Structure 1
Amino acid sequence: MAEYIMTDYVNMDRCPVYASFFGSLGAACAIVFAVVGASYGTAKSAGAIFSAGILRPDRLMQNTLCSIMAQALCIYGLVTAVIISNGVREKMALFTGFMYLAAGLSVGLCGLAAGFAIGIVGDAGVRASTQQPRLYVGMVLILIFSEVLGLYGVVVSILMLTNANNGVTVCSM
């Protein structure tokens, strides 16, 4: 009987009922912050794309690269949110829930920062490359550097997700 009570205590301590909340919160943070970053990047650069399109309509499609790169941030958040949501269970270890939260915050906040960077670079870059087309290659390089910020969050997030269940207490129903 003492073993049974001790096992229940370990499960309550390491597998509380609120652990799945943190996992779900991680999935929500991944998609919400990534979408906010992508929408800011798209909206900020779209203003420059359309105003520059008045002066140079022939370069309109070339300048949409900013918006396309911003939308890739949504994909990062979506993939991470789906992976996290597939791992969330009613009974799960608290460590796993915290790792899911950290993974979601990692990709979400990196996506948010990357979206801000893409929006600002896209706005200035499109306006500058419209006046001087030789600046387009420089704008693309800086956009790539901005996009990589989101990719760093994905890499860290995947590392956390692969280690979220290593060596944790198995929670029984």
Structure 2
Amino acid sequence: MMQLIVFFTVVIAVGTVSYGFRMMKLQRQGNIKTAMLTSLSLFGVMIAAFFAVGFITPIFAAQETNTAALAGISMGAGFKYLAAALSTGLATIGTGMAVGSVGSSAIGAVSEDPSILGKTLIFVGMAEGIAIYGMIISILILFM
């Protein structure tokens, strides 16, 4: 069941990317918000199904066998991995948003005055530091 959901999620992701490339090649204009909403909603449904099956399957399996032997790791270790993934993932999303706004502003400022290139690189580097902090927190979570 889990493999089927992963397969459909990959099919949706690959189909969305290939459809986008085809529309770019044909130079079609369209509503980008509608396309993104459709793609993200289908992908979100698949991710929700993935998590639902992931949470429901151990419950039914635990009724048949011993839970400790089935799990292999403790609940605390599972939360540890989840916390490490969330700290890195959310930090990376924040970095993408920060670098997007700071980078575009830096390009605009450098196009007006090329002598401030060094200063703008410092601001972009500070925005990228958020991802490094998230990764450091993940490493601390995993190895402490």
So what's the TM-score if we normalise by structure 2? 0.50
Report which of the two has the higher share of helix.
2
